[in-house]
Structure 1
Amino acid sequence: MTINALAGNQSVTPLVTAIKTTATVSSAAAQQQAATTQSTAVTLGQATTSTPVYTITRPALAWESASGDLLSSKLAGNFSASGNAARFAGLGSALMERFAHNGGNYSQSVIRQTASSQADSATSLATVSRQSQLHTKADNQISLSIKTASGALVDITLGSDTDGLGVQVNVSKGTLSDADRQALAKMADGFQKAIDGLTAQPPKLDLSGLTTFDTSVLTSVDLHASLGTENTQTLDFHADASTRSVKSTGIDGTVDISVDMSKRALLGSESQQTQALNQYLKQFDSAGVRGNANDSLMTMFKDAFTALNSHYGETSTTHQSSGKEPVYFSLTKTDKNMVSGLADFTASISQTPGDKTNPMRPDEVDTFSYQVSQSSNINGTSSQDRNISQKQQSHLVASYHKSLTTGLQLNLTTDRNSQNYLYYQIDDKAESTTNIQYQKGALVSASVDQSASTSTRIQKYVKGWLESDTTTPVETSKTTDLLGKLQSAWENDKSRMSFQDYLTKHTLPDLSGLVLLESDPNQLQKSSATF
C-alpha cells in the first residue's frame, strides 16, 4: 500500500466531506486471471477543490492461472505473511497429499504488481517471466525430485521472493501408477517437516521422513534448497537403496554426511543399531562441549546423522559380486555380534571461523572441526575362509577464547585492559579397529584394538601479556580379545555342545558394545568388559 500526499492548504476539520473509490481490473493476456488494483481518495475539510489530500493505492495481484482450488487458496493466505516459515507453511504437504487423488502436473503462482503497469503489454511479458522464475530461480527455492521404479520422474518446487510465491508439480518420463501416487502421498508429512526445519530460526535438519520410503516403489529421493540472498542456507539431500547423503551450508558452518548402505550384510539388529547410534550421539555431545561448538550447528549435525542412520529397512540381503570386486557374504550372528551394526559412513561438521575474535592477536581464531567415520571390508576366497574388518575413527580440532571470570562475556579489543582470557586449542583423536578371521569354517581370531588421545593447550593472558602456556596430552590404548570372551562364555555355560555349535545355536553374550568408538581416554581405560 502506498500513500501519496498531495498539495493543498485548505483548513482541515474533523468532517469527512468526500470519499471516492475506484477499482481497475485488467487481464494479463493469455496467461492469467484478472488482477485487481484499488485506489481510494479521501478529502478532508471543506470541499473547495476536487483534488484529494491523500491517495491510497492497493497493489494488484497477478495469478498464473485462474483457479479456486485449495492450493490456490493456500497460496493466497500464505502470500500475505512474511518470512519463509510462514510463506511455505503447509504447502509441501498439500502438494504431496494431492497425489492421493491426482497424478498430473500442476503450476500456480501469485505476484504483486503496481497499478500503473496493468495496461502495459511489455509488463505482461515481464509478469510471465517473473512467474517462471518463481519455479526455477526464486530467492528462496525448495525442490523435491523423486524417481519411481517404473521410470517416472516427479519434480516439486516451491519458490518465494519479496513479491511472489509459487508452487509447481511436474511429472515426466512416464506416468504414475496407483502405488506410485500412494507412496508419494505418504511422504507429505516428512516433506513438510523438512521444509519447516529448514525455514526455522535457527534452521534444523528434520529429514527422517524422507528416508522411510519403499525402495521397491520409489527408487530415489532428492531434496535441494537455497534460502536467502545474503547468508544463504543451502541443502542437498539424497536417498536411495544403497546411499544416503546430506550437505547443509549456512552462516554457522557446514554439515556433510554420507552413508553407504550397499554392504547390508553388515547391518545389525535394531537394538544393536540404537546402541551404536546413542554411543555416537553421546560422543558428539562431548566433542561439542570440549570444542565449544555452535549449539544449533551441532544439533543439525546430530539430527542429520540420526536420520541417515535410522530406518535401514531389510538387513538380511546377501550381496554377491564378480570380477575383481571383493566377495560379500551374509554374516553369521557371531560376526554381527562383533561389529557396530551401523552402515559405513563419513560425517563432518565445520564451523565458520570467528571473524576478528581478538583484534590484538588476529592469528587466534575461534574454530571447530570434527570428522568421524566407519569403514568395513569383507573379503576372502569362500564362506569358509574369509576376513572381516571394521574401522571407526574420529578427529576433533578446535580453538576458542574463554573469559578468566566465570560468567563474564568477553569483549576483546585493542585495549590491553580487555585482554584477560584463556585461549584453548584442542586436538583429539580416537580409533577402534575390529578384525575377525575364519579358516576352514572355524573362527580362529577376533579382536578389537582401540585408542584415544586428547591434547589440550591453554594460553593464559592477563592485560595482554602471556602469563602461562601449558599443553596437556592424554593417551590410552587397549586390545580386547573377543574370541577369548566367547570361549569363556562357552566354558561357563557348562554345556556339552561343541564351541562351533555354541556359536551357531546358543544365545551369545553381546560384544558389539565393546567395539564401539570411545573418544575419551579415561573412559576407555575404565571400560574393561565383565560378564
Structure 2
Amino acid sequence: MTVISSAGNQALNTLVTTTKSLTAVSSAASQQQASTAQSAAVIIGQTDTTSPVYTITKPVLVWERSSSDLMSSKLASNFSNAGNASRFAGLGAALLERFTTDGSSYSQSVIKQTSASAATAAANVAAQSQLHTKADNQISLSIKTASGARVDITLGSGDDDLGVQVNVSKGTLSDADRKALAGLAEGFQKAIDGLTAQPPKLDLSGLTKFDSSVLSSVDLHATLGTTHTQTLDFHADANTRSVKSTGIAGTVDISVDMSKRALLGTENQQKQALNSYLKQINSAGNRGNADDSLMTMFKEAFTALNSNYGDTATTYKSRGSEPVYFSLTKTDKNMMTGLADFTASVTQTPVSSTNPMRPDETDTFSYQVSQASTITGTSTQDRNITQKQQSHLVASYHESLTPGLKLNLTSDRNSQNYLYYQIDDTAESTTSVQYHKGALVSASVDQSATNSTHIQKYVKGALESDITTPEITSKTTDLLGKLQSAWENNAPRMSFRDYLDHQTLPDLSGMVLMESDPAVLKNH
C-alpha cells in the first residue's frame, strides 16, 4: 500500500526505515515464547514527516509453554496449515497415545500475533484459556474410568490459534486405565477426521470398542465452524449409546438401549437385522429424495451404535416396583431381531425457496425408525415377550417433467413444469411370545406396511393432475406353528419342550424383521 502526500510543487522525498526485534513473551504459568518479529515502515511524502504512514509486520507466535516436546512440534506443523482437517490431523490420537508413557495432565497452545507488543501477558493467558474452553472450532473427549478418575481432552482451533489440553482429575490413572485410554486413540482420530471432512462423516465405531469394566463412559462433543456450524454429541456406556449431530444439511439423532442384553442375539443374527434396517433406510432416502451426505451420516451412526455390543446375557430384570428376574432361552432369542432397542431419526433442513410461485411447496425429509421390547409376567415360567419395530417416512420434493433435466423454477410461468411429490409411509412389525407354566403356548408376528404417494403435476403453472396412490399390506405369521412343524419333521419322538431346549431350531429371526415395502411384504 502506498500513501502519497504533496503540497504545491514540493518535490517528493522517500525514507525507508527497517527495524528488527526479537521478543520473548510469557503467559500461562508466566512463560511464553515468541518468534522473531520484523517490521518495515515505508514513508512517502514530505521530508519533515517523521511518523510511519504504513507498517508491514511479521506475525509473532506466542507459545503457552516451552515448545520443545513432540506434541508442540506436531502443533507447530499443523498450525501452518489451513482448515480443520489439517489443523486437527493426528492430534487426537497423539494425545491418547501419550498415556502409554505419561498419565499426567498437559496443556499447550500457539497464538499468532501481528506484533510482539500486541498483547500483554495477561491477555495471552485469557486467549489461551478461551482456546481450551470455547474456541471457534472445538472437539472434546471426556472419559470416566471405573475407578472414578476423569480424563478431559480438548482440541481448539481458530484463525490465529491452535491448542490442545489433557486434564486428569478426581483420581489417578492405573496402568489398566492408561492402556484402555491409549486403545481409543485410533477411534478418536477417525471420529475427528470424519467430523472435519467435507462433507462431514460420523465415524464413531472406534469409540464404542472399550472395556466397560475399565472405562465406565465415553463422551465426545464437537462444535465446528461459525457460519454453518456442525455440532456433535456422542455418549457411550454399558447401558446406553447415543449420538446427535446437527449441521447445514439436517439433524441425525439416535439412541440405543443396551440394558436389555438378554434380548441380544448372535453376531450373525445382529448382522442380518442391521443389513435389513440399512436397506430400508436406503429405500426411504431414495423414495423421499433425501440429501445423500445426510443419509450417509445417518447410516454410519446407526451402524456404529448397533455394533460391538460386547457380551450378551440370559437373564433380564424387569424395572417395576418389585423387580422380577426372567431367564430367556435360545428359542426366545431366535424369534427376536437380535439388536438392542433403539430410537433413530434423521431430519433434513427444509427448503422453501425451490418454487418462488408456490412457497408453500416445501422440500422436506423426515424419517424415524425404532425398536422397543418388553418382558412381563410373574416368573420365568409365566412370561410374555413383545418386540415392536416401527418406521415413518414423511417427505416432499419437486421433480422435473423431463428426466435428467435440472429443475429451475422461477416466477416465469414457462418454467413452471414439474411434479410435486408428497410421501407418507409407515411400517410396523410386532412379535409376541407367551409362556404358561414353562410351556411355549403362543408365538406370532404381525406385520404391516403402508405407502402413500401424492403427486401433483404442473404444466406452465397450471395444475394438470392431482393423484394419490395408497398401497397397504398386512400379514400374520404363526411362529409357534413353524417350530411345531420343524419338531414333527425332525424329532417327533421327543417332547416339544425337549426339542426346543436341545435341538437346532429353524432360524425365525428373519421372519420378524420389519418390511416397509408393501409389495415385498406381500410376497415375502
Cross-structure match for 1:266? 263
Q: Displacement, 1:22? A: 1.9
Cross-structure match for 2:37? 38
Q: Does 1:333 align with 2:296?
A: no
Q: Does 1:214 align with 2:225?
A: no
Closer/same/farther in 2, CA of residues 494 and 170 from structure 1, 3 Å limit? closer
Cross-structure match for 1:346? 343
| In structure 2, distance between residues paired with 1:413 and 1:515 | 48
Cross-structure match for 1:421? 418
Q: Alpha-carbon deviations, 1:327-382, whole Å to 9, x = none?
A: 34231010100000000000000000013111101110000000000000111111
Q: Displacement, 1:233? A: 0.5
Closer/same/farther in 2, CA of residues 324 and 54 from structure 1, 3 Å limit? closer
Cross-structure match for 2:221? 224
Q: Quick one: which of 449, 463, 470 aligns to 1:452?
A: 449
Q: Is the 8 A contact 1:437 1:445 kept in 2?
A: yes
The amino acid that maps onto 1:515 is V
Q: Quick one: which of 172, 197, 200 aligns to 1:200?
A: 197
Q: Alpha-carbon deviations, 1:153-182, whole Å to 9, x = none?
A: 110001111111110000111000000000
Q: Quick one: which of 146, 158, 170 aligns to 2:155?
A: 158
Please state whether the residue corresponding to 1:26 is helix, strand or coil. coil
Q: Does 1:90 align with 2:90?
A: yes
The amino acid that maps onto 2:417 is N
The amino acid that maps onto 2:96 is M
Q: Displacement, 1:115? A: 1.3
Please state whether the residue corresponding to 2:75 is helix, strand or coil. helix
Q: Is the 8 A contact 1:37 1:57 kept in 2?
A: no
Please state whether the residue corresponding to 2:429 is helix, strand or coil. strand
Q: Does 1:324 align with 2:316?
A: no
Q: Displacement, 1:54? A: 8.6
Counterparts of residues 43-62 of structure 1 (less than 5 Å): 56-62=56-62
Counterparts of residues 53-452 of structure 1 (less than 5 Å): 56-115=56-115, 117-118=117-118, 123-316=120-313, 318-320=315-317, 324=321, 327-452=324-449
Q: Displacement, 1:50? A: 13
Q: Is the 8 A contact 1:205 1:303 kept in 2?
A: yes
The amino acid that maps onto 1:455 is S
Please state whether the residue corresponding to 1:501 is helix, strand or coil. helix
Q: Quick one: which of 20, 24, 27 aligns to 2:25?
A: 27
| In structure 1, distance between residues paired with 2:77 and 2:53 | 32
Q: Alpha-carbon deviations, 1:185-242, whole Å to 9, x = none?
A: 0000000000000011000000000001000000000000111111110000000000
Q: Is the 8 A contact 1:284 1:302 kept in 2?
A: yes
Please state whether the residue corresponding to 1:372 is helix, strand or coil. strand
Please state whether the residue corresponding to 1:491 is helix, strand or coil. helix
The amino acid that maps onto 1:418 is S
The amino acid that maps onto 1:363 is D
Closer/same/farther in 2, CA of residues 516 and 460 from structure 1, 3 Å limit? same
Closer/same/farther in 2, CA of residues 510 and 84 from structure 1, 3 Å limit? same
| In structure 2, distance between residues paired with 1:10 and 1:514 | 92
Cross-structure match for 2:483? 486
| In structure 2, distance between residues paired with 1:115 and 1:402 | 56
| In structure 2, distance between residues paired with 1:27 and 1:451 | 70
Q: Displacement, 1:125? A: 1.7
Cross-structure match for 2:521? 524
Q: Alpha-carbon deviations, 1:67-115, whole Å to 9, x = none?
A: 3111101111111111111111100000000011111000000111121
| In structure 1, distance between residues paired with 2:241 and 2:39 | 57
Matched positions, count: 514
The amino acid that maps onto 1:80 is S
Please state whether the residue corresponding to 1:117 is helix, strand or coil. coil
Cross-structure match for 2:8? none
> What is the RMSD of the two structures over their aligned residues, measured on CA atoms?
2.3
| In structure 2, distance between residues paired with 1:53 and 1:126 | 27
Closer/same/farther in 2, CA of residues 360 and 328 from structure 1, 3 Å limit? farther
Q: Displacement, 1:448? A: 0.1
5+ residue gaps, structure 1, are 13-17
Please state whether the residue corresponding to 2:23 is helix, strand or coil. strand
Closer/same/farther in 2, CA of residues 356 and 177 from structure 1, 3 Å limit? same
Q: Displacement, 1:124? A: 2.4
Q: Alpha-carbon deviations, 1:110-166, whole Å to 9, x = none?
A: 111121635x6xx32221111100000101111100000000011000111111111
| In structure 1, distance between residues paired with 2:265 and 2:429 | 18
Q: Displacement, 1:499? A: 1.1
The amino acid that maps onto 1:75 is L
| In structure 2, distance between residues paired with 1:22 and 1:235 | 46
| In structure 1, distance between residues paired with 2:320 and 2:360 | 53
Question: What fraction of aligned residue pairs are identical, expressed as a percent?
Answer: 74
Q: Is the 8 A contact 2:433 2:442 kept in 1?
A: yes
Q: Displacement, 1:56? A: 4.3
Q: Is the 8 A contact 2:190 2:204 kept in 1?
A: yes
Cross-structure match for 1:15? none
TM-score normalised according to structure 2 size: 0.94
Q: Is the 8 A contact 2:386 2:432 kept in 1?
A: yes
Q: Displacement, 1:317? A: 5.2
Q: Is the 8 A contact 1:316 1:330 kept in 2?
A: no
Q: Displacement, 1:24? A: 2.5
Q: Is the 8 A contact 1:36 1:60 kept in 2?
A: yes
Q: Is the 8 A contact 1:7 1:53 kept in 2?
A: no
Q: Does 1:498 align with 2:512?
A: no
| In structure 1, distance between residues paired with 2:33 and 2:136 | 26
Q: Displacement, 1:38? A: 2.6
